[in-house]
């Protein structure tokens, strides 16, 4: 009986083991979707619960998207105006206008304009200050 269990466990380890070539890349794909926002270093930032390392893209909805939309309206009004999406409707829906606005902000802050909000974009852009205190880097 023990021999059979040992063989089954060994097979599970071999089958479940990932080689470096087949391992999934670490990046935004491994992050949770921002579903909320929180105050962080004096700025209001999209979050997953209380974790600010999260990601958003077209199709997402909720409080995290709303905070991103408000932040882009407040801190990047001139960038959005050039793109024809100002004022951006803060409707909690990450649709085509939000994606277009985010791509413009990403170009303005010298980030890859992929239309995905993640840690690199978060760190490069300004965020709405907590309690309406202007815009700031976090």
> What confidence score (pLDDT) does residue 30 get?
83
Lowest-confidence pick of 8-12, 56-60, 82-86:
8-12
pTM, entire model: 0.79
Give the three-state DSSP class for 67. helix
Mean pLDDT of 2-30: 43
Sign of CA dihedral 81, 70, 41, 123: negative
- Per-domain boundaries in the chain: 28-136
Q: Which CATH architecture has domain 28-136?
A: Orthogonal Bundle (1.10)
Q: What are the angstrom distances between the C-alpha of 15 and each of 10, 23, 33, 123?
A: 9, 13, 30, 39
Gap between the Cα atoms of 72 and 67, Å rounded: 9
pLDDT digits (tens, 9 = 90+) for 75-125: 999 999 999 999 999 999 999 999 999 999 999 999 999 999 999 999 999
> What confidence score (pLDDT) does residue 27 get?
57
């Amino acid at each position: 009986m023990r021999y059979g269990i040992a063989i089954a466990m060994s097979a599970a380890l071999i089958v479940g083991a990932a080689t470096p070539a087949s391992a999934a890349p670490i990046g935004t794909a491994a992050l949770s979707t921002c579903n909320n926002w929180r105050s962080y270093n004096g700025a209001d930032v999209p979050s997953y619960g209380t974790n600010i390392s999260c990601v958003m893209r077209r199709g997402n909805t909720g409080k995290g998207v709303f905070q991103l939309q408000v932040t882009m309206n407040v801190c990047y009004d001139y960038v959005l105006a050039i793109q024809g999406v100002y004022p951006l409707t803060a409707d909690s829906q990450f649709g085509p206008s939000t994606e277009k606005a985010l791509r413009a902000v990403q170009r303005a802050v010298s980030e890859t304009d992929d239309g995905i909000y993640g840690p690199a974009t978060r760190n490069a852009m300004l965020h709405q200050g907590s309690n309406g205190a202007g815009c700031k880097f976090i």
